Structure 1
Amino acid sequence: MDTVVVGFDGTAPSVNALEWAAHRVAKHVAQLRIVTVGVADDDPLLDVGAGGVQQAHVIAPSAEIVASRVIGKMPQALLAAAAGATLLVIGAHRQRPVRAALAGWPPLRLASRSQGPVVVVPEDWSDSAGPVLVGIDDDDSSASAVRFAAAEAERLGLRLLLLHAWQMPSPTTDGAFAYLASPLEQKAVHRRILDDLRSEVRAQHPELNVEGALVQGAPSSALLSEARRCSLMVIGTHRRSLLEGALLGSVAQDTLMGSRIPVCVVPS
């Protein structure tokens, strides 16, 4: 049986994360484990788990829901508690100041260190029956994300939307010659990437409604724009460091801080 772990501290973002997880286990047989983390045995945060169990039972009355108290520091303690779980779910305040990226914005730091998929639920999330959106990269870094998204869409009875964003490459210079592929040539290459993957997913999930979207533009902007009509966004990760993410503008950082729907980060 699948196990979904929720980090819960009674704040509004964690309540939203709990509600999202409870809706998921209500639609699919799984155990929901509510984890509270405290720095010591007498930490009052450890006592909020029982209330979380009651809230989750309202949404998923027949689900197996348990509360766990963990002593330690975040995010290490929560990651250790979620080891081996199918899914780790946390809440987040959206669009915190940029300084949080260099200091280690907690949701991004946790997602980058997790060995399994992490769903980050924004504080202004509301339930939706839109498709599951997954970002497709040029390399194989999104393969795990696609597998997870397809299984999730099939499990929940939702459509799957594969989005592949592409941009024109910079010209290459070889002596006195410079070559720049035409936009039509580049678009054809990326169309084949999307179409091949769509055919592959359809073959593996014949009952699943699989759609494709090819967008010219930055991946994070394309994902955030398309997410307006979706219920969940799934992205892969290259496991870059936080500093590299801040300097290079990682898709994970941009989407996590800007998305109004839950984002699932799936490690390669």
Structure 2
Amino acid sequence: MTRTVTVGLDGSSESRAAAEWAAREAQLLGLPLKLVHVWEPVPAPMAQAPLLGAETHQHWAERIPREAAEGVRLRHPGLDVATEQLSGRPADMLADAAKDAELLVLGSRGLSGIGGFMVGSVALSAVAHAERPVVLVRAGEQAADEHEMDPAGIPSAVTPFRPVVLGLDVESPDEELIEFAFAAAARRSTSLRVVHAWNPPPYYAYGLSVDLELHGELARREATTLAEVLRPWHKKFPDVEVTEESSYGSPGNHLVDASREASLVVVGRRIRRAALGAHIGPVTHAVLHHSTAPIAVVPHN
């Protein structure tokens, strides 16, 4: 069965931005686009209200994906666009819809004055439970277009894409995560910026003054390890220009800083099937809330 780029719609400006991002990504991937709206059945007391009855609710629920599909088809002629109406709890239904998707794309609200995301419970649940990559997009200029600015200060399809940013832990590098980032950069014909952050082990740090020689030795070791991890990927994707950054400090902070010049930030999430349940790590959680670029969360074992 052909996978799709699937986007969850709720009628908000954020979900419309997500649909636009998903349409462009579907064209880059050569895949169909599926617009999914989850209709949560109206509780019985509310269904009896004259203005909020179940039929009215369902009418508006069906209108959201239909109108979104019409707009996407006008802006992206030739793209195969389908709609699907589901009924149930949005978090559960979207995580289930992701199973047959190449990507699940969701909108997320921007935080005024901070330039990041307000990740709602539905989006967080989808990120935490989906076993396919989930991309979060917020409304706004950078979410709507991943290209560099033209001389007039306007993003344009004739200008290059901004770089793709990959957050990488060299102690446990995952091939699915790395390949996703390289492939995203390759299909955009842009560069890949790999960001790795490190801190000294506790037995080096506690109770010791700054040792510049030791700091330099650790920095060289981390940079060498990063280069070794990426060496085979340079050969697999020879046309992708790669910038390797191994920096001291918080990985979340470095990735948020890098997101300001990125078309897409790629981070990982380890899949947990144990009793502890799903989990979003602290670095991914920080990036989800404060990145100014769309974020792809790639689950891996």
TM range (shorter): 0.7 to 0.9
CA RMSD of aligned residues (A): 2.8
Task: Indicate conservation of the 8 Å contact 1:141/1:236, yes or no.
Answer: no
| Percent of residue pairs identical | 26
Structure 1-normalised TM-score? 0.86
CA distance in 2, matches of 1:58, 1:210: 36
2:218 to 163, 167, 186: 186
**Rg larger in structure:** 2
Given the alignment of the two structures, is residue 126 of structure 1 paired with residue 144 of structure 2, yes or no?
A: yes
Count of aligned positions? 257
Cα 1:244–1:53 shift into 2, 3 Å? closer
Given the alignment of the two structures, is residue 171 of structure 1 paired with residue 203 of structure 2, yes or no?
A: yes
Instruction: Tell me the equivalent position of 1:19.
Output: 20
Give the SS at the match of 1:120.
strand
Structure 2-normalised TM-score? 0.77
Cα 1:244–1:77 shift into 2, 3 Å? closer
CA offset at residue 233 of structure 1?
0.2
Deviations 1:40-86 (A, max 9, x none): 37433232111111121133211100000111102111121221210
CA distance in 2, matches of 1:182, 1:27: 46
Instruction: Tell me the equivalent position of 1:216.
Output: 248
CA offset at residue 143 of structure 1?
3.2
CA distance in 2, matches of 1:114, 1:15: 21
Given the alignment of the two structures, is residue 76 of structure 1 paired with residue 97 of structure 2, yes or no?
A: no
Tell me which moved more, 37-46 or 63-72.
Answer: 37-46
CA offset at residue 244 of structure 1?
7.0
Instruction: Tell me the equivalent position of 1:135.
Output: 167
Q: In structure 2, give the amino acid aligned to 1:106.
A: V
Q: In structure 1, give the amino acid aligned to 2:248.
A: Q
CA distance in 2, matches of 1:228, 1:46: 36
Q: In structure 1, give the amino acid aligned to 2:28.
A: K
Given the alignment of the two structures, is residue 31 of structure 1 paired with residue 22 of structure 2, yes or no?
A: no
CA distance in 2, matches of 1:80, 1:106: 13
Matches within 5 A, 1:95-106: 95=111, 105-106=121-122
CA distance in 2, matches of 1:67, 1:133: 31
**Structure 2 unmatched ranges of 5 or more:** 42-53, 113-117, 147-160, 206-210
CA distance in 2, matches of 1:158, 1:126: 17
CA offset at residue 95 of structure 1?
4.3
